[in-house]
Amino acid sequence: MATAISMPKLGLAMKTGTVGKWLKQEGDSIKKGEALVEVMTDKITNKVESPAEGILLKIVAAKGTKLPVGGLMGAIGEAGEDISAILAAGPVVEGAAEPKGKAKAAASDGGVKSASPDGKVKISPAARKLAEENGIDYTLVSGTGPEGRITREDVEKAIEEGVGSADDRPTLKVMPYEGMRRAIGENMLASWTSNAKVTHHVSVDMSGILALRRKINEGLKDKDRISVTALLTKAVARAIEINPSVNMTLDGDEIKTLQEINIGMAVAVPDGLIVPVIRKANEKKLTQLNEEIKDLAKRGRRNKLNVDEMNGATFTITNLGGYGSVDWFTPIINPPEAAILGVGRTVDKPVVVGGEVVVHPMMGLSLSFDHRILDGAPAAEWLAVLIQLIENPQKIFI
């Protein structure tokens, strides 16, 4: 019996997902449990396994199609098997997106749907053919036909004016702007344009926390050694306990100070950036934090996290210190959070201590915050608390 391929529920909070790249094509044989198709949320991209063994008889949801959980993506069965019942029972597609450029459109009425603000681009077949032949991205062309439909005349004008023309400059590499890369880009742009962002930059002396780390790690095996990231996370969680001003969110007409301290940890992955969440970080022992940070980072790089592990952060830390090239930067706030802490490299620098110039390991910190929610003075006060804890690390555990 044929089996439906449905949009999976990858986490408790997931309501919709976007179909990514199909790893098998219609007519291909596939085994149960074999990777079949990529599914994207606004947080992660996951490979969905085949629910059955057989032939991929039909791809219903093309790449870029947005579906509710349970929405029909395709069907698997035996060669020649009737799948009309499965197709008839499939729910309506939400915000379907057709491939642009030279990809074949699946819309039967000659119109296509793309990543425009309303999710739809209408274009006549003749106009689409002309655009494809001339390398014109028709989603950038304004339509003058009924209901904004793009006509052949619109495309001819675009060709004349150079609107939507492909960039033919020599390139070293071309990658599609889709999947995780597009999700990150759209989320970051939305954050940048919707928040009144301000960033405070400061240097902090790491002598104390590095000395504490050396002492803690004496005699421990490599796999059990406490990382600087774990100590910083513990310091940040304690600073929020003392001064929760950065642990806020704007919810409609209300500014809420949140009770739970859930720390998002930005992790670089091959396709972009993910932010797994350490829940109730302030309630966890240093060893627990250390193990959880390592586990989330490891599974994140292998694309093994679920959506629930990526949601619910109240404050985020993004650390570029390991690259050894960045002192300070301007991290972009992860909505709906009010602030994010950027961590730069640690470098030996001359500083004045007790009237004498000495060399200490100094680290750059950059606190970006939404000025709609948090003013500069309380943000500086919170940074002062964090600095005190980092430079006097014994206070982290009091």
Q: Cα(381)–Cα(387) distance, rounded to whole angstroms?
A: 10
Whether the Cβ atoms of residue 213 and residue 226 lie closer than 8 Å to each other = yes
Distances (CA, A) of 61 to 5, 162, 319: 10, 33, 38
**Closest of 142, 174, 180 to residue 161, by C-alpha:** 142
The answer to whether residue 375 is catalytic is yes
**H-run or E-run covering 378:** helix 376-391
Q: What are phi and psi of 65, to 5 degrees?
A: -75, 130
Q: Cα(136)–Cα(113) distance, rounded to whole angstroms?
A: 16
Q: Cα(119)–Cα(289) distance, rounded to whole angstroms?
A: 42
Q: What are phi and psi of 263, to 5 degrees?
A: -95, 120
**Closest of 131, 127, 86, 85 to residue 110, by C-alpha:** 127
By the 10 Å C-beta count (0-12 exposed, 13-18 middle, 19+ buried), 170 is classed as exposed
Residues 6+ apart with CB under 8 A from 88: none
**Closest of 311, 315, 331, 302 to residue 45, by C-alpha:** 302
Whether the Cβ atoms of residue 265 and residue 280 lie closer than 8 Å to each other = no
Angle between helical axes of 125-133 and 152-161 (0-180°, round to 10): 20
Q: Is the peptide bond before 336 cis (omega within 30 degrees of 0)?
A: yes
Please identify which of the residues 28, 224, 348, 371 carries the catalytic annotation.
371
Annotated catalytic residues are 371, 375
